[in-house]
Amino acid sequence: MLRPKETYSRLIKDLAKEQGFLFCGIAPAGFLEAEAPKLENWLKAGHHGEMAYMENHFDKRLDPRLLVDGAKSVISLGLNYYTEAQQSDPEAPKISMYALGEDYHSVIKAKLKILLERLREVIGEVNGRAFVDSAPVLDKAWAQKAGLGWIGKHTNLISKQKGSYFFLAELIVDVELAYDLPMQTDHCGSCTRCIDACPTEAIVAPYLVDGSRCISYLTIELKNEIPAEFQGKMDNWMYGCDVCQQVCPWNRFSIPHQESAFKPNPDLLGMNKKDWEEITEEVFQKVFPKSAVKRTKFAGLKRNIGFLNG
C-alpha cells in the first residue's frame, strides 16, 4: 500500500505527463547551501552584466521557503521545445530555437495553473506558487536536486535521455512528498565542445559563464549598444544563441516536441536575409504575435540586425 506522500508524488508525475511535460522530479524545500557561495562569487565578478535584478532577493534565490509560506517541496518540471524546423534562408539572421513559437512563459504558466488546481482537487488545501523563469528561483539547481539531470560545463541542465532543449519550471508547495534522488554524476567527462565553440568565449571556465559576454544576453538583456569588441563574433544570431547546445553530444537524443503552441510561425521561417534587414514594425508584430522575441522589442531586434551587418 502506497503511503499518502508517495501516492501524491505519483499523482503529480502522472498529471505532469498529462500536461505534456517531458519529465518531473521532486526535491525537499530547503536552503541551497552549495549554491550560495557560487552565486555570490558570480555576482561579485560582474558576470550578470546589466542584469541588476540578479542582485535582488539573494536569500529568496537560495531558499524557496521564503517564497512560499510553509514550503516543503519543490516540484521541478521540464518541457521540451526541440524542433527540426529551420529558417529557410541559411544566410538569414538566426533566432534561438526556443523562441520560434509562442512565449514559453505563458504556455508553461497555464500548464502549472492546471497542475496546481488538480492537486488541490485531490489533496485539498495546498499553498503553492508556480515559477517560470520570472522569479528568484535557481531552476537548474532544483532540477538537479530532483534528479532531472546534471548541470553541464555550459551551465545548462542536461538529461542523459533527453539532451538539453527543454524549459525548466517549478511548483513550490507546502505538502510533504516522496522525494527523488539528486543527480550526483556529471556525464560531461573531458568534453569541452561547448567551451571551444562559444563564439564570444562566454564560457570562461568549465561550469562558469560570464553572462555579460553571452550572445543571449547581448541580444536580449542588454539595453544599451552592443560593445564593439563583439563585432564579427555573433555568429549571425539576432535573438539568443544555441551554439553550446548544438555542439553538445547529448543532444543527439533530443526528439521533436509535441506542443502545438511551440510550432514555429511559417512567416518567420520563410523570411530571408533581406526581409530581416528591411523589417518594419508591422511585420515584426505579424511574425511575433505571442513570441518571447517581443522582450527585445522592435527597436532591439533592429539594433541586433544592424550590429550583425556592422
Residue 2 pLDDT class (50, 70, 90 cuts): low
Task: Please give the model's pTM, rounded to 2 decimal places.
Answer: 0.94
Over residues 151-186, the pLDDT tens digits come to 999 999 999 999 999 999 999 999 999 999 999 999
Read off the C-alpha cell for 249: 553530444
- Mean pLDDT for the chain? 95
Is the per-residue pLDDT at 1 higher than 70? no
Q: pLDDT value at position 291? A: 95
Catalytic site positions: 133
- Per-residue HEC secondary structure of the chain comes to CCCHHHHHHHHHHHHHHHCCCCEEEEEECCCCCCHHHHHHHHHHCCCCCCCHHHHCCHHHHHCHHHCCCCCCEEEEEEEECCCCCCCCCCCCCEECHHHCCCCHHHHHHHHHHHHHHHHHHHHCCCCEEEECCCCCCCHHHHHHHCCCCEECCCCCEEECCCECCEEEEEEEECCCCCCCCCCCCCCCCCCCHHHHHCCCCCEEECCEECHHHCHHHHHHHCCCCCCHHHCCCCCCEEECCCHHHHCCHHHHHCCCCCCHHHCCCHHHHHCCHHHHHCCCHHHHHHHCCCCHHHHCHHHHHHHHHHHHHC
